[in-house]
Amino acid sequence: MLQAAQTAPTDKSTSGDPGTDSGSTVVTIQYLRAIAASLVVFHHTMAPAALNVYYRRSFGEFGVDLFFVISGYIMWLTTVRGRRGPLAFWVARLVRIVPLYWIFTSLFLAVALILPQTLSTTPGLDPIFILKSYLFVPAIHPYYGGVVPLYTLGWTLNFEMFFYLLFGACLLIGPPKLRLTVLAGVLGLLAMSGAIIAPQGAVLTTYTNSILLEFLAGVLLAAAAPRLMRWGSIGGAILIALGVVWLIQVILSEAPPTRIVGYGVPATMIVAGALMLEPIARFAPNRVGLLLGDASYAIYLAHPFALRIWQLAAGALFPALGAWTSIAVYVIGGMVSAIAASVVCYLVIERPVLAVGHRLIGRRALSSRTARIEGVR
């Protein structure tokens, strides 16, 4: 997902080489990436009807909001002092996002055509819809009716890619303060248009969704990060606690507020608090937490396949289980197997593919640090 320096990176780091200083990793952000990915896995683990009755408050989707704030944070941090133009930025983003997403979209399509009975959902196989799914164009799913692509997890990437389009265009503006002002103005106007005008159609409803403000929140945190890291660990712990309490109140509410208020605000508070705790976290980084943070994009995309395989296998091996035993087998076993398989995917597929992509665009082959610097998942 990301690696970042405490201060804005040099032009060398923004080109994809963050250097060799171990201090450049924002440890707490790595941990948050791992937590965000795990929340999404839990959310989908509880999706089957037999388990969903125990999961009436769908808080796992909060992981997506954490991802969006983190994405805005790292995009600003890796470009603020560099000289990268829009084209180089967009190409780097495509190399980072597209290959793994296309791999899993194609895999899903193949399963839908060859073994549709193994899917827990009904795919939409309209050719135009499939093409739009590959190109990150928001479209109405022919079966569900919602604005999601063929591989439904890709709905978040539709927002990501639109944010990258706007962010890259803003790189034409030299002074960082003016760039930030313009970006904030554009995202604010889009969100305001969505709230006031309520446009129709898949594209307009996506590009005027208030969830775009979560990217802006991350950008603002990146601009304020040097100050936040000096505020002290006690303040960071309090801010994280307040964010968690806010989230719990939203989860327990019978009439929850809008997503940007219910999830976007606590996500911003938690990321800000994590930055304030960074000096402490640097003393003894947890290797497992860092690895899961590195693998968060692979976890996000790969876990549904591993989870479905586990569900089918568990159903065949344990046909009759009590309620609590089923929860232990399907939830705990499903999460462990899905995350473990996704980490293997990160090591065996994502990193080699990304290294090839970087060589093709003339950038240095990925080290473990380079893999972190510009991830978004």
The b-or-e profile of 328-359 (16+ CB within 10 A means b, else e) is ebbbebbbebbbebbbebbeebbbeebbebbe
Query: Quick one: pLDDT at residue 5?
Result: 28
Least confident window among 42-46, 341-345, 357-361, 363-367:
363-367
Kindly report, residue by residue over 14-67, the tens digit of the pLDDT: 223 222 233 467 899 999 999 999 999 999 998 876 677 777 788 999 999 999
| Phi and psi torsions of 252, nearest 5° | -85, -10
Query: Is the pLDDT assigned to residue 372 strictly greater than 60?
Result: no
Query: Quick one: pLDDT at residue 117?
Result: 74
Kindly report, residue by residue over 127-177, the tens digit of the pLDDT: 999 999 999 999 999 888 899 999 999 999 999 999 999 999 999 998 999
Query: Quick one: pLDDT at residue 21?
Result: 32
End-to-end CA distance of the chain: 5
What's the length of the chain?
377
37 C-beta neighbours (distance < 10 Å), count: 26
Instruction: Compare 135 and 314 and report the one with higher pLDDT.
Output: 135
Instruction: Compare 246 and 225 and report the one with higher pLDDT.
Output: 246
Kindly report, residue by residue over 102-113, the tens digit of the pLDDT: 999 999 999 988
d(CA 154, CA 252): 28
Q: Taking all residues of the chain, what is their mean pLDDT, rounded to a whole number?
A: 86
Beta bridge partners of 147: 140
Kindly report, residue by residue over 274-303, the tens digit of the pLDDT: 999 998 998 889 999 999 999 999 999 999
**Is 271:70 a contact under the CB 8 Å cutoff?**
yes
Helix extents (H) in the chain: 11-14, 27-45, 49-52, 62-77, 86-114, 127-134, 155-170, 176-196, 202-207, 213-228, 233-252, 259, 265-281, 287-294, 296-317, 323-327, 333-345, 351-360, 368-373
Query: Quick one: pLDDT at residue 2?
Result: 32
Residue 203, Cβ density class (10 Å: 0-12 exposed, 13-18 middle, ≥19 buried): middle
Query: Quick one: pLDDT at residue 143?
Result: 85
pTM of the shown model? 0.88
d(CA 300, CA 97): 12
Instruction: Please list, in sequence order, all residues whose beta carbon lies within 8 angstroms of the beta carbon of residue 23, skipping any fewer than 6 positions away.
Output: 5, 6, 282
Query: Is the pLDDT assigned to residue 213 strictly greater than 80?
Result: yes
Q: Which amino acid makes up residue 365? A: A
316 C-beta neighbours (distance < 10 Å), count: 8
Query: Quick one: pLDDT at residue 376?
Result: 54
| Phi and psi torsions of 140, nearest 5° | -75, 125
**Is 229:6 a contact under the CB 8 Å cutoff?**
yes
Instruction: Compare 82 and 321 and report the one with higher pLDDT.
Output: 82
In three-state secondary structure terms, 147 is strand
Q: Which among 320, 87, 68, 328 has a CA at the least distance from the CA of 212?
A: 68
Give the model's confidence band at 230: pLDDT under 50 very low, under 70 low, under 90 confident, else very high.
confident
Question: Quick one: average pLDDT of 188-193?
Answer: 97
**Is 338:41 a contact under the CB 8 Å cutoff?**
yes
Whole-number percent of the chain with pLDDT over 70: 86
Query: Quick one: pLDDT at residue 320?
Result: 64
Cα-atom radius of gyration of the chain, to the nearest Å?
Answer: 20
Query: Is the pLDDT assigned to residue 201 strictly greater than 90?
Result: yes
Question: Quick one: average pLDDT of 243-263?
Answer: 93
Query: Quick one: pLDDT at residue 375?
Result: 56
Beta bridge partners of 140: 147
- Encoded tokens for 1: 């997902």
d(CA 17, CA 319): 51
Kindly report, residue by residue over 61-102, the tens digit of the pLDDT: 999 999 999 999 999 998 988 788 999 999 999 999 999 999
Residue 115, Cβ density class (10 Å: 0-12 exposed, 13-18 middle, ≥19 buried): exposed
For 107, how many CA atoms within 13 A lie in the half-sphere containing its CB?
A: 12
Whole-number percent of the chain with pLDDT over 90: 64
d(CA 143, CA 283): 50
- Encoded tokens for 90: 């967009």
Give the model's confidence band at 316: pLDDT under 50 very low, under 70 low, under 90 confident, else very high.
confident
